[in-house]
């Protein structure tokens, strides 16, 4: 499950044009934590899931969906 969530985080982050640093700052996490989540080296906590979903302005459940079912992407401008 960690790898699935990590892939979803990466796909959404890259779609938005965000760096790991930008996502980390937006979610209150370190860039290294975002990196470890994306590659499945860190287990995602409920708190991490909620913070990242809030940063993306999406329902946390979207991060738990299989990649082929990521139909709803956030509607935010990419970082400058």
Q: What are the boundaries of each domain within the chain?
A: 2-66
At residue 71, the pLDDT reads 53
Residue 80 sits at the vertex; the CA angle it makes with 73 and 4, to the nearest 5 degrees, is 35
* Rounded Cα distance, 60 and 49, in Å: 6
Class of the CATH-defined domain 2-66 = mainly alpha
* Rounded Cα distance, 46 and 69, in Å: 21
Q: How confident is the model at residue 4 (pLDDT cuts 50, 70, 90)?
A: confident
Q: How confident is the model at residue 68 (pLDDT cuts 50, 70, 90)?
A: low
Neighbours of 52 (CB within 10 A): 27
Q: How confident is the model at residue 16 (pLDDT cuts 50, 70, 90)?
A: very high
Residues in Cβ contact with 74 at an 8 Å cutoff, skipping those fewer than 6 apart:
12, 16, 56, 57, 58
Q: What are phi and psi of 75, to 5 degrees?
A: -110, 70
């Amino acid at each position: 499950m960690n790898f699935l969530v990590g892939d979803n985080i990466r796909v959404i982050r890259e779609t938005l044009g965000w760096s790991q640093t930008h996502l980390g700052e937006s979610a209150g996490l370190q860039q290294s934590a975002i990196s470890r989540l994306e590659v499945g080296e860190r287990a995602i906590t409920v708190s991490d899931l909620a913070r990242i979903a809030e940063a993306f302005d999406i329902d946390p459940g979207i991060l738990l969906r299989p990649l082929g079912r990521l139909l709803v992407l956030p509607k935010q401008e990419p970082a400058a």
